[in-house]
Structure 1
């Protein structure tokens, strides 16, 4: 079987989430001239007021170097008040924007925040830009701190959370990254929306790459529940198969689910399904897998493997199918449910879902079989025959723990999407 790879899971680009260029920050305007008082909201000493007024005059004249020197002159004055710290840095911010000096901008933004006077409506803008600026020079720790503050300011905004998840991952903190992406998903639900598919896929990719066993299947199930397309189903079930160490029976049941959700893709998948069914003594199901693979262009009748397997299973089908009524009668008389279970499996392969359901129920009533296997397959045939409530009850009866419990949960997800 082809080994699963996370190459298909694209990293969420931080550059797409953050405004790392064209920084625009709203701040209160400083005094316009030396003989005009500062805005009433801010109380400035005469030396500070005069230096800032001169700074603005120089800036308006295009002398930004001189303007910065005057702002620094004000900053060097002793015993500055919070009002003065804020206004000095407001002037510096405007100079930094005019000169496209990101180093100065970052210093000024932090300086303004240190005053405690940045209005609440502007703090998010400040921290977003600070995070972007820190990212420009790969200062992940500082960017993380800024985006954590940004996220705290507006808990309903998922963009800072997405950025944080990537920052945690870049700093080799996959547990925190996965948890944060889970928070993105939960927050989106609380907002009445669905997080982007990339968030679900990224969460699964990080969990898989970091071997976070407890997080992999929840992330995979969440992905197919939110975005149940064939690609996501295939990725989720491939990951499940790779990590579950399945026996032949559970492997067959997984392939059956993949066939049902349209997740089989390529020659290898259909060949494996057909061969697994054949090895389990199910020629009808093996032939169905071969025929479907050929019909979808995944298998070629000219390939030796297809010719050989078709030559093995096709001659068996007529007698096998004709034997089912007699096997059903024998199963009713048997001391345990083993024959009923195997007969139900054969009926499944021929699409005789109602008859198969009766056999699985008989097997459960007689006992002597693995109840989880019987309930899982009972749910499968009831789902395929349209008995949604019955299928749901059967799947929920799979007690687990183990692969069959996980498969039942996947089937329940698929069932929930059916009309």
Structure 2
């Protein structure tokens, strides 16, 4: 009896990914505005101070230029009561921001930014920056509603901060606005891909985790499938296929197909999946596939040496092979084989087990033509074509798969269309 490794307690939902997002981005650079009408006029923005506030703001500016924290604090304390207009209050807030930057005090920076934005006269050219950092600080304080509001304003003002979409998406996810968060994530993903950039893995990982929490399993796999385009590393393939395996129910045939794709993507990274795969292939009478599978596990050191259970399976299946491979060619050409859909398909499976992918294709075609399970044999024909290097044929076959293997067909298309993965940091799986 085969072992379902995915049923073990330690293997609950490998795709729950919990990467830590940085709470805050870089400290905002001090703005270049100076409280002098002529300087602002050169930029197209005028924020003039009142006559009574002039001496105070001059001291603030001089202290800031000198990077004298004590002098700036004194100037603010003395000057704030003399600020009588909205413009004056804007400059008080501006120099509060400068004080926070000099002190590396995020709370003071956030206070200054909020006060500046509250005046309603922030120069248009500064709205993107100030709203982004205000939202960034709010995110760090876990005030996600405020963070979303500020980050939306930053985006509307044209902010190009690389972390904006991630922070905005997660602000919505943290306030249980899952659909809004996913909408932002998907738009950001496609925009970045269109620009020739690889999207941040956070744009996939955090929505996936939120969808798992909401038990929206089909959407989990939708997003995991999209993620494979940009992060096709073996451990990411394993997370995705493990999740699909969890949802395969009691279908041994589908489970076997999932594990075959895991093998094809080099994502069989732990012993238990080899044990389940070997058990399923043994029950399906595919000794060639079992023996070659265990050899891969040994070569990659995933299967230890010795391994009593898998060594026993390999020995028994090796003996069972006999002269099977040498007789397959003649057997495959018999009319009685080609006219019986189950026999034709099973013979195709045996061919694949021995690595004879191109030879398996006519047998799968015969299984379909003889009235066999079209979804099953068309899918496996696509796999054989893909493994044989017939990309066009594989794509055409997978496009016809509309039944329970549709998700697997989509993932095979991702594998076909995705270049070999380069090393990259990806979100780790939890569990097995």
TM range (shorter): 0.7 to 0.9
- Answer yes or no: is 1:168 the counterpart of 2:172: yes
Residues 148, 330 of structure 1: CA spacing in aligned structure 2 closer, same or farther, 3 A cutoff? same
Residues 145, 14 of structure 1: CA spacing in aligned structure 2 closer, same or farther, 3 A cutoff? farther
Which residue in the other structure is 1:316 paired with? 320
Match of 1:28 among 7, 25, 33: 33
- Answer yes or no: is 1:233 the counterpart of 2:240: no
Shift in Å at residue 246 of structure 1?
Answer: 5.1
- Answer yes or no: is 1:351 the counterpart of 2:355: yes
Aligned length: 404
For residues 315-368 of structure 1, the C-alpha deviation after alignment (integer angstroms, 9 at most, x for no partner) is 22124335532354144563x42221111111211222222111111111111x
Match of 1:120 among 119, 124, 134: 124
- Higher RCO, 1 or 2 (CA under 8 Å, sep at least 6)? 2
Match of 1:274 among 278, 291, 315: 278
- Answer yes or no: is 1:68 the counterpart of 2:71: no
* Structure 1 Cα separation of the partners of residues 268 and 253 of structure 2: 18
Which residue in the other structure is 1:254 paired with? 258
Shift in Å at residue 265 of structure 1?
Answer: 1.6
1:164, 1:177 within 8 Å by CA — same for their partners in 2?
yes
Shift in Å at residue 205 of structure 1?
Answer: 3.5
For residues 164-208 of structure 1, the C-alpha deviation after alignment (integer angstroms, 9 at most, x for no partner) is 223333334444333333232122123221113454344434433
* Structure 1 Cα separation of the partners of residues 131 and 28 of structure 2: 12
Residues 116, 103 of structure 1: CA spacing in aligned structure 2 closer, same or farther, 3 A cutoff? same
Residues 273, 97 of structure 1: CA spacing in aligned structure 2 closer, same or farther, 3 A cutoff? closer
- Answer yes or no: is 1:48 the counterpart of 2:53: yes
When structure 1 is superposed on structure 2, of 295-304 and 140-149 the one drifting more is: 295-304
**Which structure 2 segments of 5+ residues have no match?**
421-432
2:35, 2:48 within 8 Å by CA — same for their partners in 1?
no
When structure 1 is superposed on structure 2, of 184-193 and 198-207 the one drifting more is: 198-207
* Structure 2 Cα separation of the partners of residues 322 and 58 of structure 1: 89
* Structure 2 Cα separation of the partners of residues 139 and 323 of structure 1: 70
SS of 1:264 mapped into structure 2: coil
* Structure 2 Cα separation of the partners of residues 38 and 380 of structure 1: 68
**Which structure 1 segments of 5+ residues have no match?**
none
* Structure 2 Cα separation of the partners of residues 123 and 353 of structure 1: 60
* Structure 2 Cα separation of the partners of residues 88 and 307 of structure 1: 77
Residues 68, 165 of structure 1: CA spacing in aligned structure 2 closer, same or farther, 3 A cutoff? same
SS of 1:236 mapped into structure 2: helix
TM-score for both structures, normalised by structure 1: 0.85
Shift in Å at residue 121 of structure 1?
Answer: 2.5
2:381, 2:394 within 8 Å by CA — same for their partners in 1?
yes
2:342, 2:367 within 8 Å by CA — same for their partners in 1?
yes
Greater gyration radius: 1
Match of 1:364 among 338, 362, 368: 368
Report the RMSD for the aligned CA atoms in angstroms.
3.1
For residues 127-161 of structure 1, the C-alpha deviation after alignment (integer angstroms, 9 at most, x for no partner) is 23322433454333222222222222226554111
* Structure 2 Cα separation of the partners of residues 191 and 156 of structure 1: 13
